[in-house]
Structure 1
Amino acid sequence: MEKLPAKTGWIWIKEGFALFRKQPAEISTLFLAYMFLMLALNIVPLLGQVLPLVLVPVFAMSFMQACVNIEQGKRVYPNLLLIGFRSPALKNLLTLGALYLVAAVIALAASTLIDGGVFWTAVTGQAALDAKDIQQSNMSLAMLFSAAVYVPAAMAFWYAAPLIMWQKMGVMKAVFYSFFAVSREMKAFTVYGLAWAAIGVVLPAIISVLIAVLVGNQAVTLMILLPLSIALTVVMYCSFYPTYTHIFGKPGADLPPQEAQETPTQE
């Protein structure tokens, strides 16, 4: 397999926008249903802090399958949120989710080396922090360090869920393939990440400043930025799918039944 050029990272984003434009209301409804479910899970004592992260791979496949449906001209419905739970790969997806949790805890714990536990306390909600505590700490540097520690895990998890569900791989094999696939296409992923930083962070910031200057009304700013943020987040979810297909090809769901059966899967 040849390495993809750096510009592929921008192509992934363009294809994400193209998928979104075909069914914007349907895919946005799927996303809002997912967010509502996550909020509901947060109500559950103790488990509410753990389950949303453990279930990320399961729900991630809902959006990946939604993109498959859009490509095939099929309608996207909120019941796609359950597709991972109906999959024979559910156990492996949950195992992957547990690894997500472990990696997140390790990355957060690493931040204590920088700020003495301020960021950890803020995230886990163990105690209330005042502005003075935050200002006197190295919390910003700790956040960056925590993110850097998590990068290898993010690389290992990026393709793991679709490889488990679509390629029938085991958890560790999927994690291995994902890490080295991302490593191989680092130039494309760098462009992809920088482009999303510009679109998802810089652009809304510029728009908010312009609205503040022209209108000067926080309610109007919120009314514009909230749907924009939701739309950009959904587009980002849609762009995950082309990052997979450009490297591993279309999933078997795109093939005719007979051809799909003849396509070898990786154990």
Structure 2
Amino acid sequence: MEKLPANVGWLWLKEGFALFRKQPAEMSTLFLAYLFLMFAIGIVPLLGQVLPIILIPVFSMAFMQACVNVERGKKVYPNLLLTGFRRPAFVKLLQLGVLYLLAAVMAIAASALIDGGTFWQVMSGGQALDPDTVRDPRFSLAMLVAALAYTPAAMAFWYAAPLIMWQDMGVGKAAFYSFFAVKRNGRAFLVFGLAWILIGVLLPVIVSNLIGLLFGKATVVMLVLLPLSIVMTVVMYCSFYPTYTHIFGKPQQPAIGQQ
């Protein structure tokens, strides 16, 4: 497990964009298929609120495997969404998903100590996010507390799914290796995170202002920002793959999902 310099965080982002650029339509189609599937799962009574979270590790492997295919010159198809459903990894990925859910619940519950449960109500759909709530400093502090409480779990989950799928690790071992891999390369992850925050905030603002000046219509701005946000999200997903390969090496599994 290598310790990487801080500037590698920017390299991860560049490599993610390079992967997307090789098959932009195919990667975007995979993402849209994922969104449609999540929407369909979300309308299932009772389970619709928790299944999308529990299945995050399962579906995350679709995008990781898609990056493998792109890297090897193989086509990406929507059937890659089934990648994480392969046994024996599927059961362990589901177990990891349950841990995702528990960690999120505990982090949001911790925020209730700050704002009396307002953030919890908003996240669970029990309260609308109105302007007064957003302006409340306790609400902002509660969000920060929840984020800080979830950070150790996020570190443990970051590489857990690919380590389970590609290196046949158990859930506990994968979480352990993931946590210390992120901790060891904290500076690179800091650069990576800051780069995405800057791009995610500055780019939409610049584009929306330019479109607003040229056309002066909010509908035109939205028509431009929607596909831009999709592209940025897919590129971000693609950039997760080089964070894995730079530390754990390239997966040895054959490319799948070909037709």
TM-score range, shorter chain: over 0.9
Q: How far apart are residue 139 of structure 1 and its match? A: 1.0
Q: Secondary structure at the match of 1:251?
A: coil
Q: Aligned in 2, Cα 1:129/1:194: closer, same or farther, shift over 3 Å?
A: closer
Q: Work out the CA distance in 2 between the residues paired with 1:207 and 1:134.
A: 25
Q: Does 1:111 align with 2:141?
A: no
Task: After superposing the two structures, state which structure 1 stretch, 38-47 or 240-249, moved more.
Answer: 38-47
Counterpart residue number, 1:258: none
Q: How far apart are residue 133 of structure 1 and its match? A: 4.8
Counterpart residue number, 1:123: 123
Counterparts in 2 of 1:125-164, with a 5 A limit? 125-128=125-128, 130-136=130-136, 138-164=138-164
Q: Work out the CA distance in 1 between the residues paired with 2:141 and 2:63.
A: 33
**Kept after mapping to 1: 8 A contact 2:6/2:191:** yes
**Kept after mapping to 2: 8 A contact 1:89/1:164:** yes
TM-score by structure 2 length?
0.94
Counterpart residue number, 2:56: 56
Q: How far apart are residue 3 of structure 1 and its match? A: 1.5
Q: Does 1:165 align with 2:165?
A: yes
Counterparts in 2 of 1:1-267, with a 5 A limit? 1-128=1-128, 130-136=130-136, 138-253=138-253
Higher relative contact order, structure no. (Cα contacts within 8 Å, ≥ 6 residues apart): 2
**Kept after mapping to 2: 8 A contact 1:8/1:188:** yes
**Kept after mapping to 1: 8 A contact 2:133/2:139:** no
Q: Percent identity between the aligned chains? A: 69
**Kept after mapping to 1: 8 A contact 2:16/2:235:** yes
Q: Work out the CA distance in 2 between the residues paired with 1:87 and 1:196.
A: 34
Counterpart residue number, 1:262: none
Q: Aligned in 2, Cα 1:12/1:132: closer, same or farther, shift over 3 Å?
A: closer
Deviations 1:168-198 (CA, angstroms, capped at 9, x unpaired): 0000000000000000000100000000111
Q: Aligned in 2, Cα 1:128/1:8: closer, same or farther, shift over 3 Å?
A: closer
Counterpart AA for 2:241: Y
Q: Secondary structure at the match of 1:207?
A: helix
Q: How far apart are residue 206 of structure 1 and its match? A: 2.3
Q: Aligned in 2, Cα 1:131/1:6: closer, same or farther, shift over 3 Å?
A: closer
How many residue pairs get aligned? The number is: 255
**Unmatched tracts of structure 1, length 5 or more:** 256-267
**Kept after mapping to 2: 8 A contact 1:118/1:134:** no
Q: Secondary structure at the match of 1:250?
A: coil
Counterpart AA for 1:89: A
TM-score by structure 1 length?
0.92
Q: Work out the CA distance in 2 between the residues paired with 1:162 and 1:69.
A: 15
**Unmatched tracts of structure 2, length 5 or more:** none
Q: Work out the CA distance in 1 between the residues paired with 2:147 and 2:156.
A: 14
Q: How far apart are residue 148 of structure 1 and its match? A: 1.1
Q: Work out the CA distance in 2 between the residues paired with 1:209 and 1:19.
A: 29
Q: Work out the CA distance in 2 between the residues paired with 1:222 and 1:119.
A: 28
**Kept after mapping to 2: 8 A contact 1:53/1:101:** yes
